[in-house]
Amino acid sequence: MFKLNWMSSIFLTTFLMLTSQISHAVGPDIKAPLPQNSGIETAEHILSIKQAVFDDMSQSVLNGKKRFSQSCIYCHGYEGSGGRTKKLQGRTIAPEKLFKTITEGRSRGSSRMPPWENAFSTSERWELVAYIMSLSEK
């Protein structure tokens, strides 16, 4: 019975992540308009988005926390406390490394983090970075 419940929860989580429009679940909470782009993420564009997100750090952390709770908690635990992966709390990770990992995903052994580039906009990924960086203080 335990195996069925565990497998059911994995299936349901995967199904919801793949079929829902995750990037629209939280909605835009940023007051100032972010720089727009033609769909090509140049280094300059990514840095301008990062600057806009980090300029309003408190709101960005809140937005990132909402998104983290909706999409990342399954593997990274409540408030980054760990679970299937190492805990994010108390760790200092360079923002660019976090952004790249969220964007491109990561594989280590049998663990795999999916790439979130197509699910989250550039600003939403930077908001996740802002939230994860705030966990280093816990």
CATH of residue 82: 1.10.760.10
pLDDT band at 68 (very low <50, low <70, confident <90, very high): very high
For residue 91, give its domain range: 60-138
Q: Is 90 exposed, middle or buried (0-12, 13-18, 19+ CB in 10 A)?
A: exposed
Q: Is residue 127 part of a domain?
A: yes
Q: Is residue 34 part of a domain?
A: no
Gap between the Cα atoms of 71 and 80, Å rounded: 12
As a whole number, the mean pLDDT across the chain is: 81
Q: Is residue 75 part of a domain?
A: yes
Q: What is the rounded average pLDDT of the residues 68-91?
A: 94
Q: Is residue 100 part of a domain?
A: yes
Helices vs strands, H then E, count in the chain: 6, 2
Q: Is 111 in a helix, a strand, or coil?
A: strand
Q: Is residue 84 part of a domain?
A: yes
pLDDT band at 119 (very low <50, low <70, confident <90, very high): very high
pLDDT band at 25 (very low <50, low <70, confident <90, very high): very low
Identity of the amino acid at 109: G
Identity of the amino acid at 87: K
DSSP assignments along 2-20, one per residue: HHHHHHHHHHHHHHHHHHS
Q: Is residue 8 part of a domain?
A: no
Q: Is residue 45 part of a domain?
A: no
Counting the structural domains of the chain, the total is 1
What per-residue confidence (pLDDT) applies to 3?
47
